[in-house]
């Protein structure tokens, strides 16, 4: 009889589809997460956290693995804000950096509207400031190889790569996008019109820049470092 509650909870989670959207996941886990946090039932709490981490990657490796399998999920604004509020309430802090990243890319019009289930105005302000920090990060880190292209040390094009117009054209395409997305992997390498050595060098710069953006995500949104977020969450 003592195992009956655990069996009921397990059955509850078993009915949650692996392809469920964020709104459905929040509905499924919110009550159990609140109770398991309040009464320190770690097994249930960690199960709930696992479902949330499936929607909000907490390492660069998780992000890139997910992105290689499928296009990163676009969360509806209402569900995203519900998830952020729940994470704050239950100290599931590890999912917040990427959640803020997603929120910062929402339409400004949606951010300036407000309902009772939205994140606070303070958090919305942090998202809007963070959006500009993401734009700067795209220029200086993840996509700097386009904005300030430099030929590879091993380039053998006799100067042709140094005057190629492809990188600048591609930067202007990114610059015209509605919201910055510095974590997104660039893939239009053939449009740079530079040699293979220069492409390989740019790819290495791009990955290193994206990794640095990931490392800095908490800073962009006024959060503690990744390690501190995990420590607080697991305490």
pLDDT digits (tens, 9 = 90+) for 60-97: 999 999 876 666 778 999 999 999 999 999 999 999 99
What pLDDT score does 125 carry?
A: 97
**What's residue 17's pLDDT?**
79
Please state, in angstroms and rounded to a whole number, the distance separating the CA atoms of residues 131 and 87.
Answer: 21
Res. 1 pLDDT band, cuts 50 70 90: very low
pLDDT in tens, 26-39: 999 999 999 999 99
Give pLDDT, residue 73: 77
Identify the band that residue 59 occupies on the pLDDT scale cut at 50, 70 and 90: very high
Query: pLDDT digit string (tens) for 100-112?
Result: 999 999 999 999 9
pTM over 0.85: yes
Is the pLDDT reported for residue 8 higher than 80? no
Domain boundaries, the chain: 18-130+224-234, 136-215
Mean pLDDT (the chain, rounded): 92
Provide the pLDDT for residue 113.
Answer: 95
Q: Is the confidence at residue 3, as pLDDT, over 60?
A: no
pLDDT tens by residue, 195-207: 999 999 999 999 9
The pLDDT tens digits for 168-189 are 999 999 999 889 999 999 999 9
- According to the model, what pLDDT value does residue 92 have? 98
């Amino acid at each position: 009889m003592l195992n009956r509650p655990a069996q009921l909870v397990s059955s509850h989670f078993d009915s949650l589809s692996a392809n469920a959207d964020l709104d459905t996941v929040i509905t499924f886990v919110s009550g159990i997460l609140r109770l398991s946090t309040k009464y320190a039932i770690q097994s249930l709490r960690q199960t709930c956290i696992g479902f949330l981490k499936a929607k909000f990657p907490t390492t660069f490796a998780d992000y890139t693995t997910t992105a290689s399998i499928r296009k990163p999920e676009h969360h509806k604004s209402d569900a995203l804000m519900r998830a952020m509020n729940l994470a704050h309430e239950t100290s599931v802090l590890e999912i917040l950096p990427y959640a803020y990243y997603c929120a910062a890319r929402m339409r400004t019009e949606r951010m300036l509207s407000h309902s009772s289930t939205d994140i606070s105005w303070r958090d919305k302000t942090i998202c809007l400031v963070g959006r500009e920090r993401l734009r700067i990060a795209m220029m200086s880190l993840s996509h700097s190889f386009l904005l300030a292209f430099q030929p590879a040390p091993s380039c053998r094009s006799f100067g042709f790569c140094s005057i190629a117009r492809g990188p600048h054209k591609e930067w202007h395409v990114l610059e015209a996008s509605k919201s910055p997305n510095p974590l997104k992997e660039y893939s239009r390498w053939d449009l740079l019109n530079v040699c293979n050595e220069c492409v390989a060098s740019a790819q290495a710069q791009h990955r290193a820049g994206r990794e640095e953006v990931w490392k800095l995500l908490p800073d962009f949104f006024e959060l503690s470092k990744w390690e501190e977020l995990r420590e607080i969450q697991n305490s």
